[in-house]
Structure 1
Amino acid sequence: MPDWSYRTLFRPLLFLIPSDSARDLTLLAMGSLSKMPWGSLVIRTLGHMESYPILETSRFGCKLKYPVGLSGSLDIHGKAQAALAQFGFGFIEVGPITTLEIEDSRMIVRDIENEAIHYPNAYVNEGLQAVISRMQKKQGHRHPLMLRIRQMPGSSAEEAMLEQIDMLDKLRAYASGFYIDVIDELWSLEQIENILINIREKAKKLDPGLPVFIYIPLDLSLDILNYLLNKLELHLWQGIVIGDYIHSDQGYTVGHRGLQIGIEKTRLIREACKGELAIIATAGVHQPQDALDYIDAGADYIQLHSGLVYSGPGLPKRINEAIIYERIRTVEPHPMPSFWKSWGWMCLLGIGMIFGGVMAWVIAATRVMLPYDETFLGTAKTSLMHMNHNLLPFMSHDRITLAGTMISLGILYFQLGKYGLRQGQHWAQTALLASGIVGFSSFFLYLGHGYFDPLHAFVAAALFPMFILAMRVRADEPSREQPNLLNDRTWFMAQWGQLMFVVLGFALAIGGATISIVGITHIFVSTDLAYLESTHDGIGQLNPHLLALIAHDRAGFGGALFSDAIAILATSLWGISQGRKWVWWALAAGGFPGFLAVFSVHLNIGYTNFWHLLPAFFAVIIYVLGLIWLFPYLMKIKIERVER
């Protein structure tokens, strides 16, 4: 459920149903997908969160791959942790955890205008024993677990301390760290101080290396906070977690309005403890800029809650990319690789495909068949014209569409090579690798009916070494382009544009696979035979080798279209980033020759059956819409800010 599907389709639908039902449905769907064969691969493929050493940290005994964590309140039963762990999170909070189960039948309420969620009770959870049972099972991920423990409501200070110590003992085998959520403003300052000191001492006796964090409620009064910062020996703790709930008579609210309160508390805590403690900020992060504001105030890590609901599951990835950019923008970049090291070969491959496509188009639009085609058939093309007056135009139609697809693919390869591979972008290399493997493998489809095309074999043999040379160096450089930081109207429109191109990529992949399968099996569809005014057997009776020749054209076109679809799909999934102008031009220029070939040849030969051309009309509509909606985002043209 990436942002391009969540913000455009799923969020509007989910927001039509009660919050509890929407949450349970979403978690069930993601959890079920992660448990399916290849489910985790699908999630990673759609999101493609790349890992870079610059994001990794090793503090308080934990190695964190990313500086972004997931709030436990979003998935209190851990149903979808295996799926959520793929979104770019470095650690996962489990909790709150209390000794006994806490239930509340009242509804969770969304406040869409203020991007907030109102919980009737912030401490609903399944209880200690249920959490232990869950921890004893396979988690489905290897992320560090930060367990937030809380005393039962109404506990006295003494009871709270004993409950916390008991949970520390019983849960320490499963925890990478603990959030000690014990502060209650009903107690005196001395009581709070005494409880925290005793819990820390007991934790040290249980396990000297056990990381423990003080959990500071977001709305904790400044008097209590200042008292604790001055009185506690902060160096004995691994860090401080600033919560995200604001308590009121109606319950507990978490949302974007907590951001400024959280930033102020972060700044105050950082000034008090300097660089000694890790600070985890959790309130109101709904866009990458919010996370950067926290980091500027002194936070080390960010934990997401309401932002994931309102902004979408792509938020952790966007934050990671923003942090990467901030950390490397002042660092001298590595020298660009030479033209001949990798990326130049891909550019030459793209140019070769463009040139080959243009030549194929010229031939298909004029003589249609080459001499070796006639040799294979044992007859001249003039004889075929007398056998069936639509036969040569039909073959021209197959070959021109193949030529247009080759040109489109060549343009994409050239752009991905010049800008993606040259900049060391792993996503671009992955896109080219997947597309190239499919494209070169599809050559064998030509042989499905026993026809060996020497020209295609020569072109494939000439281009394949370029592909190998282009792929031989691993691309793993982080992008130096400034990523999107705001959930503004330009970004939201881009989600629709990205959706259009993802749909286009999937549609073309289905179309390419279908054409290939038809080409190596039935060869024709019903509209083809209607245009030819004949039957499958009737065409076969005209010449014993004719079906094999036509099948070769169809299967080849289907394979090329499938390869083109993978390049478009991968670019749409992973390459859409604000200000990346070359991606817009690659998609625009790459699509034009393909659509020009399809519509021009069908009109020229009179093959204008509505149902046959309907997929092409559908494809061109979403292609144009995608370009329109992506244009401001990729060209970095500011559109009015969305009102919160």
Structure 2
Amino acid sequence: MPDWSYQTLFRPLLFRLPARLARTLTLHAMGGLSRIPGGSLVIRTLGHMEVSPLLEQKRLGLDLKYPIGLGGGVDPHGTAQRALAQFGFGFTEIGPITMEPIRSDQPVELDITEEAIRYPSAPVNDGLAAIVERLKDERENPLPAFCRLRPMPGSAPEEALDQVRRMLEALKPFAAGFYLDLPSGSWPSDVMDAYTLDVLRLTKELAPDKPALVYLQPDMDDREMMSLLGKLNEAGLHFEGAVIGDTVTAGDRRLTGRAIKASVMRKLQRIRSEYAMESIALIAAGGVHEPQDALDLTEAGADLVQLHSGLVFSGPGLPKRVNEAILYRIVSGLPAPPLPAFWQGWGWMCLLGIGMIIGGIIAWIIAATSVVLPYDTAFLCADAETIASINERLLPFMSHDRITLAGTMLSIGVLYYQLGRYGLRERLHWARTALMASGIVGFSSFFLYLGYGYFDPLHATAAAILLPMFILAMRDRQEEPYRRKTNIMNSRQWRLAQRGQFMMVVLGVSLVIGGFTISTVGITKVFVPEDLEYLMTTAAVLESANPNLLPLIAHDRAGFGGALLSNAIALVATALWGIQQGARWLWWTFLGAGTPAFVAAFSVHMYIGYMDFWHLSPAIFALLLYMLGLILLYPYLMRPVSDSKHARVS
């Protein structure tokens, strides 16, 4: 459920449901997908969260791939931990955890205008026993987990300490560390201070190799907070850090949302004014709804951030966007590596694209004039006039197949050239992956021509020339992080772009299905019913007139299907992974790649009079998606990221 589908389709539907039901449906869908064969691959493909060594951190004795954590309130029952782990998180919070299960009939409420969530005041959770059983399955908990321990409501200090002892003993084999959640407001301040000292000593006694962090609520009084931390320091207790939590008291409820950020920032700044960055680690757990929020919190002193309500309102792509923003902040301060030489890889891909464009132009000219080539007539033992005498619509039909193939070749050429020029040249992982997948399918589709025993020497020659270019282009495996400014705001342009990206992804997937279907039909039935209606004949009649006619037409159809499939894979990969704010070249790529394909498809159908609506309906649907995608993506791709926002965090 990436942002382009979440913002466009799922969020409007889910927000109409009761919040608990919406959360349950979402988590069960993601969790179920991650458990079926190939499900994790689907999640990784849709999100394509790249791992960069520059994002890796050594914090709290742990090696974290990403500086982003998953808040415990997102998935309280551990339904989709395996799926969520692939979204770009480096660690997760489990909890709050209490000795016994705590349930509540109070509803979970969304405030869409304020981007806030209201939870029951009780620390709702499944209880220690159930959580321990869940943590035993390492496959379901792939991330380092910080267990957030909280006494049962109404417990006396002695009872609370005993509960924490039992939870520590049960959880220490599975936990990467502990958040010590203080029952604020339950006891006098001196009792609370004494309890905190005791619980920290207990944690260090029972789990000396596990980091222990004090969990502080954003609405805790700043003076009480600093007094507590000071007493811990004076007592000589080594606590690794503190977590500024993600909820505040709002009447008889707990509230989390965008407004929490201000309180979290104030506390971060207050603590950092007393404690150096190296002395304790600080985790900001509330108020991150867009990448700018995470940048602001890290600038205020947070070492790590956790996501909670932001995932609900912004979408599951938020951790990836935050990682990209942090990565840009890192690489913008590093010297840029030299661009690879033209012949090192990307130049060969540009030449391959130019070769496809030239080939597409030649194929279009031939298909619009003579239609058949000498080796076609040699295979059929018949010239164009003889073919026309068999069926007067046969040559126009063959022209229709070959012109649509020419338009697809032009589209592939534009995509390959642009992805080579702007993707491989900057050594972007997603561009290389897109080209690799598309190229393998495209060159493999050559063998579809042999399905009916027809060998196309011109196509074989073109493949023999272009294949070495593809191999040479793919030999440079070095990868670099994206070095251009990334989107950091949930602006109107960004929201429109999610809809535009949705259109382009659906278009790409539709063309993948279309290419596969056309290839399958080409090497099996050859014709669809609408084709035979246009030709006003049957396949048996054509075969009886010339037994080599069906293999020739099958060759054209299979070739077009294979080319369309190759083109569609490059398109859907680019739409999934490549869209970044200010990437003007990408909008021009979509325009340049789509225009010749659609012009070829519609012009040849009108020219030969093949205007069956059912036959053209997939192309009409694709054109609508294409035009909407271009319109919605235009403001996002053509306008650069605001310099002022990045200047604040550089």
Common fold, TM-score beyond 0.5?
yes
Q: Secondary structure at the match of 2:344?
A: coil
Which amino acid in structure 2 is aligned with residue 228 of structure 1?
L
In structure 2, the residue matched to 1:108 is: 108
The answer for the alignment partner of 2:587 in structure 1 is: 584
Within a 5 Å distance, the mapping from 1:518-597 to structure 2 comes to 518-597=521-600
Q: Provide the rounded CA distance (Å) in 1 between the counterparts of 2:345 and 2:190.
A: 66
Supply the distance in 1 between the matched residues of 2:429 and 2:581 (Cα, whole angstroms).
18
Q: In the TM superposition, what is the alpha-carbon distance from 1:637 to its structure 2 partner? A: 6.5
8 Å contact kept, 1:68–1:89 = yes
1:342 aligns with 2:348: no
Q: Secondary structure at the match of 1:273?
A: coil
C-alpha separation in 2, matches of 1:309 and 1:45: 21
- Match for residue 400 of structure 1? 403
Contact 2:104/2:122 (<8 A) preserved: no
For 2:267, the equivalent position in structure 1 comes to 265
Task: Structure 2 unaligned segments of length 5 or more: list them.
Answer: 643-650
Q: 1:248 aligns with which of 231, 238, 250?
A: 250
Deviation at 1:120, TM superposition (A): 1.6
Residues 441/235 of structure 1: CA separation in 2 closer, same or farther (3 Å cut): farther
Secondary structure of the structure 2 residue equivalent to 1:85: helix
What runs of 5+ residues in structure 1 fail to find an aligned partner?
A: 640-644
In structure 1, the partner of 2:516 is 513
Q: Does 1:413 align with 2:412?
A: no
| Counterpart residue number, 1:642 | none
Cα distance in 2 for partners of 1:21, 1:512 equals 38
Corresponding residue number in structure 1 for 2:293: 290
SS of aligned partner of 2:73 = helix
The match for 1:441 is 444
Aligned residues of 2:485 and 2:641 also touching (Cα < 8 A): no
Matched, 1:75 2:75: yes
Per-residue deviation, residues 379-436 of structure 1 (Å, max 9, x unmatched): 1111011111000010011001001000100100000000001001000000000000
Do 1:255 and 1:283's aligned partners in 2 also have CA atoms closer than 8 Å?
Answer: yes
Other-structure match for 2:481: 478
Does residue 317 (structure 1) correspond to residue 320 (structure 2)? The answer is yes
Deviates more, 1:430-439 or 1:116-125: 116-125
Question: SS in structure 1 opposite 2:481?
Answer: coil
Instruction: Write the deviation string for residues 132-184 of structure 1: whole angstroms up to 9, x where unpaired.
Output: 11111243352101111100001112222221122112100000011000242
One-letter code of the match for 2:247?
Answer: Y
2:35 match: 35
Q: 1:456-479 CA deviation, whole Å, 9 max, x = no partner?
A: 001011101111111111142111
Contact kept? 1:189, 1:227, Cα under 8 Å: no
Alpha-carbon separation, structure 1, partners of 2:148 and 2:387: 78
Distance 1:186 1:10, change over 3 A: same
Residue aligned with 2:306, SS: strand
Q: Does 1:363 align with 2:371?
A: no
Count of aligned pairs: 639
Q: Give the letter aligned to residue 268 of structure 1.
A: R
Task: Measure the CA separation in 1 of the matches of 2:526 and 2:121.
Answer: 63
Structure 2 residue matching 1:148: 3-state secondary structure = strand
2:8 is the alignment partner of 1:18? no
Measure, in 2, the Cα distance between the counterparts of 1:408 and 1:578: 23
TM-score (norm. length: structure 1): 0.98
Superposition deviation, residue 198 in structure 1: 2.0
Task: Select which of 427, 431, 452 maps to 1:428.
Answer: 431
Name the SS for the 2:107 alignment partner.
coil
- 1:185-224 matched pairs, under 5 angstroms: 185-224=185-224
Q: Which amino acid aligns with 1:13?
A: L
Match of 1:231 in 2: 231
| CA apart distance, 1:206 | 2.0
**More divergent stretch after superposition (472-481 vs 614-623):** 472-481
CA shift digits 1:336-395 (9 cap, x unpaired): 000000101100110010011111111111111110111011111110111110000100
Please say if residues 81 and 139 of structure 1, whose CA atoms lie closer than 8 Å, have aligned partners that are also in contact.
no
Q: Which stretch shows the higher mean deviation, 68-77 or 492-501?
A: 68-77
SS of 2:146's partner is strand
Deviation string 1:521-544 (CA, Å, 9 cap, x unpaired) is 000001100111100111111211
Q: Secondary structure at the match of 2:273?
A: helix
Aligned mates of 1:221, 1:336 — CA distance in 2: 53
Which amino acid letter does the alignment assign opposite residue 8 of structure 2?
Answer: T
Deviates more, 1:568-577 or 1:188-197: 188-197
SS at match of 2:632: helix
Instruction: Find runs of 4+ consecutive structure 1 residues off by over 4 angstroms.
Output: none
3-state DSSP class of the match of 2:418? helix
**TM-score normalised to structure 2 length:** 0.97
Once the two structures are superposed, residues 303-361 of structure 1 have per-residue CA deviations (whole angstroms, 9 ceiling, x without a partner) of: 00100000000000000000000111121111000000010110011001001111111
Residues in 1 aligned to 2:73 and 2:157: alpha-carbon distance in whole angstroms: 25
